Structure formats: C-alpha cells, structure tokens
Amino acid sequence: MDDSEVAGIKRKDDKQDDQQLSVIGQELHATRRKKQLSLEQLAERSGVSRSMISKIERREAVPSTTVLAKLAEALGLTFSQLMSQPVEQEVVVIKAARQPVLRDETSGFLRRCISPVLPGRGIDWVLNTLPPRGTTGEFGVHRRGVEEYIYVLNGRLKAVIGAEVVTLEAGDSLYFQADANHAFTNAGATECNYFLVIDSSKLRS
C-alpha cells in the first residue's frame, strides 16, 4: 500500500460511514466477481494495491476519491456506481441524508453523489466541496469518449487538464475530454463548491 492510499483511508466511526463502507465493499466485490477478476488482476488494472482492494471489500477502509476513481475506471463503471446501489424507477427522489458522501480525511475534499444510479445511463452528477487551498489530487486518464462538465457555484477553482491550466470563478463552466490526467485545487481563501458531471454514455452506445 503506498502513501497516497494510506492517506485516503477513513475508518468507520458512525452509522452513515458504516453504511457507505458496506455499499462500496459490496459493489466492488460483486462487480469484480462478475467480471471474473482476481484481486491481483484488479490491482494490476487499476494501479491500486491488492491489500487496499481487499480492505475496501471487507469494509475495513474507505478509499480516497482518486483511489475509488481508479477502481471504477478499471471496472468500466462510473464513480456513483461504486458509491450506491442501482435503482429501476424513472422518477427518483434521493433525500439529502441518503446521498452517498465520500470525504478525504487528509485533504477535506468532499464528494456527494446526487444523481441516481440508473442502468445504462452512464451519467454521474456530483457536488464537490474543496476547503480553502484544498486539492482533489490527480485523477488518472479515463477511457476515450468520457467527457466531464464543471460549473462553479462559489469560490475559485484551478483546473489542470493535461498540460493546460485554467482558473474558474463563481458562475464559470468548463468542458473537457477526460482522456488526460486532471486535478482540481481551490485557488481561494474560502470554500469552493462546484458541480461535476461525468458523461460516459458514449461508451454504452
């Protein structure tokens, strides 16, 4: 287990954390078995250590957002599909208390999944919160065809997409093809909140 994975671990300390641990562990284990991947094979595909994957499946640790993104990408899933269980209804209300939330203990980065997991849709809608000067860390390359959209609600957000760097103010939006490394940093002295939409629907057509 490397330092970036250790920093991403959050031990369960309340009922909500315990429920989130259970969902992530169940979905990761079920998807890995469905795709007939061993722990070693998934570790090789994702770049996440075998021991970390095993801890997540056993509900002993919650991964950082970057680790979870690596696992989702390796399994061909969206981020939200590893954070919540699928629903079948066409009209879905998700109460705030039931929206999956993942927090990085070290960075304070908060990721709230606000879109339902609907079969075959390939859309993630996420509300991200970064504390002052906080960073998401670097997200790896997605499969070609995955697109991301960002809208800044408040604060200043610095986005690094491959070799390009842009700074967004409240009300600004950003689109990019996510087949390049990307990372986001709060460039201001106050909290930054922004919507993120990850669209992988083209991969399903």
Torsion of CA 27, 49, 148, 62, to 10 degrees: 50
68: confidence class by pLDDT, cuts 50, 70, 90: confident
Phi, psi angle pair for 28, to nearest 5°: -65, -45
- The pLDDT, as a whole number, for residue 151 is 98
Residue 167, pLDDT above cutoff 60: yes
Distance CA 17, CA 62 (A): 9
Q: Does the residue 106 lie in any domain?
A: no
Single-letter amino acid code for the residue at 152: V
Q: Does the residue 97 lie in any domain?
A: no
Same domain? 130 vs 198 = yes
144: confidence class by pLDDT, cuts 50, 70, 90: confident
> How many independent structural domains does the chain possess?
2
Are 143 and 77 in contact by the 8 Å Cβ rule? The answer is no
- The pLDDT, as a whole number, for residue 85 is 65
Q: Does the residue 114 lie in any domain?
A: no
Tell me which H or E stretch contains 192: strand 192-199
1: confidence class by pLDDT, cuts 50, 70, 90: very low
- The pLDDT, as a whole number, for residue 107 is 86
- Average predicted confidence (pLDDT) for the chain: 83
Q: What six digits make up the tokens of 111?
A: 């990721």
168: confidence class by pLDDT, cuts 50, 70, 90: very high
Q: Of the residues 59, 83, 107, which one is the last residue of a structural domain?
A: 83
**pLDDT (average), residues 32-55:** 91
List Cβ neighbours of 146 (8 Å cut-off, separation of 6 or more): 177, 178, 179, 198, 199, 200, 202, 203
Distance CA 98, CA 173 (A): 27
Distance CA 146, CA 164 (A): 18
**pLDDT (average), residues 74-91:** 73
Are 93 and 163 in contact by the 8 Å Cβ rule? The answer is no
Q: What six digits make up the tokens of 158?
A: 């610095």
**pLDDT (average), residues 146-169:** 96
Residue 179, pLDDT above cutoff 80: yes
Q: Residue 66: which domain range?
A: 3-83
Q: Of the residues 25, 59, 83, which one is the last residue of a structural domain?
A: 83
